Structure 1
Amino acid sequence: MATDDKAIYHFITKTNELENSNYWKYLQNTNLSVNIQWRSGIASSQRIGPGEEETKAFILTLRLFCQDNDLISLRNMKKKIDSLTIDQQLKNEFLDIRDGLNDFLDNFNLIPIITIDEHTPSNREIFNAFMYGKYAHITQHETIESWEKLVSYNGMRAKFDQILREYVAALIALRDVCKKILVDLDEKKVE
């Protein structure tokens, strides 16, 4: 397998793993929700969504796309795709999807129902807090600890699920472009 193909092949394989995971299947077949109750002056909430074990297993693979020390991180893949001698339309398609994902992550909730100290966290802030404070690392553990004390915590956790759904939908679209890129590379080898 050529060096150019290696990263693309792994990107496709790992995206397939995410798409076939129990976590992803749950997100595709069940509506996420949060139930908030107010009893005797005390508020509580409960999230309806994938369980912790499914989430942890999912994150183990997802983090390969997020961390630049991995061959298939989105930043490394951008560099790889930019360096390839392939149809410019394929490069543009890959970059447009990646840029769309980054735009989504940098946006705030359309309805700012999650506010902490008068700050509405962006999708990226919520993603990073859960990813690096609860699941993949503990660098943002203090953030998660402070959020866990809030009634809105389960809302933020459900938002994290929704962010992951968008993230993986983008990865699936990128995977499909990668498949076309492999075909383009193979055609150029024949020429």
Structure 2
Amino acid sequence: MAFDSHPPELELFIEKADKLENSGFVKKIKEEFTLDISIDLSREDPLNIRSIRPNQENIDAFILTFRFFIQDNEATSIRNLQKFFDSEFVTSEEKNKFNSARNNLNSFLSESTNLIFKDENISNQMLMDIFIYGELSHAKKSKKEKFDLWMSRDDAQEFFWHKFSHFCNQFNILRIFF
């Protein structure tokens, strides 16, 4: 970089990314993160789902910090950092590394979660939007309705929560950008 220290936005970006990496959410996923499904057709209720994942408090705390990277009203959002990396303050190599990481992130967001609900293939982006803006930090009407629809099926709830937890762990900001 063209200066001796990081600008405040990058300092905050690194601080928040480090906070996510050391969160109770990530610790829980590293310790034990399981989704076991068994089917026993001899039982009246043949489907048995056992899930171990971060609890709601871990998820809520993670999302509170995670929003620094995805909401454009934050200087640390990926979109806003793009403006910095497009400036004359960074070298071409740094700009290329950032753009490559951002392209990889956008590719990840467009990938399928391998979940299909009512004939709709759910991408990582959709999963993130529905959970965050339909339940965890906002309740935008259309997204809240979709979240409630996903959760209306007892046999599907844990699949969605597990996939969302996996998504959050895969979206690890430090691993993507540094």
TM-score by length of 1: 0.80
1:81–1:10 Cα change, 3 Å? same
Shift in alpha-carbon separation, 1:68–1:159, aligned structure 2, 3 A: same
Distance 1:43 1:29 in 2: 26
Q: Which residue of 1 aligns with 2:163?
A: 159
Within the candidate set 14, 17, 20, 2:16 is matched to 14
Distance 1:160 1:34, change over 3 A: farther
State whether residues 133 and 143 of structure 1, in contact with CA within 8 Å, keep that contact through their aligned partners in structure 2: yes
Hey, what's the Cα distance between the residues in 2 that align with 1:105 and 1:175?
Answer: 15
The residue number in structure 1 matching 2:132 is: 131
Unmatched segments (≥5 aa) in structure 2:
none
Instruction: Map 1:132-147; keep pairs closer than 5 Å.
Output: 132-139=133-140, 140-147=143-150
What value does the CA root-mean-square deviation take over the aligned residues?
Answer: 2.3
User: Which structure has more strand as a fraction of its residues?
Assistant: 2
Secondary structure of residue in 1 paired with 2:74: coil
Q: In 2, are the aligned partners of 1:34 and 1:155 still within 8 Å (CA)?
A: no
- In structure 2, the CA distance between the partners of 1:51 and 1:100, relative to structure 1 (3 Å rule), is same
Q: Tell me how far 1:174 sits from its aligned partner.
A: 5.1
- Say if 1:84 and 1:34 are closer, same or farther in 2 by CA, change over 3 A: farther
2:35–2:49 CA contact under 8 A, matched in 1? no
The answer as to 2:140 corresponding to 1:149 is no
Q: Secondary structure at 2:126's aligned position in 1?
A: helix
The alignment partner of 2:37 has SS state of strand
Q: Secondary structure at the match of 1:121?
A: strand
Task: Give 2:123's aligned residue.
Answer: 122
CA distance in 2, matches of 1:23, 1:37: 29
C-alpha distance in 2 between matches for 1:48 and 1:77: 35
Q: Which stretch shifts more, 21-30 or 65-74?
A: 21-30
Structure 1 match to 2:70: 66
| Alpha-carbon offset, residue 119 of structure 1 | 1.4
Query: Structure 2 CA distance, aligned partners of 1:88 and 1:77?
Result: 15
Amino acid at match of 1:125: M
- Give the conservation status (yes or no) of the 8 Å contact 1:64–1:70: yes
TM-score normalised by length of structure 2: 0.86
**Residue from 97, 100, 121 that aligns with 2:104:** 100
**Number of residue equivalences:** 171
Percent identity over paired residues: 27
Which structure has more relative contact order (CA 8 Å, sep 6+)? It is 1
1:90 paired to 2:99:
no
Query: Distance between the aligned counterparts of 1:131 and 1:164, measured in 2?
Result: 11
Amino acid in the other structure paired with 1:77: L
CA apart distance, 1:83: 1.3
Q: Distance in 2 between matches of 1:129 and 1:27?
A: 21
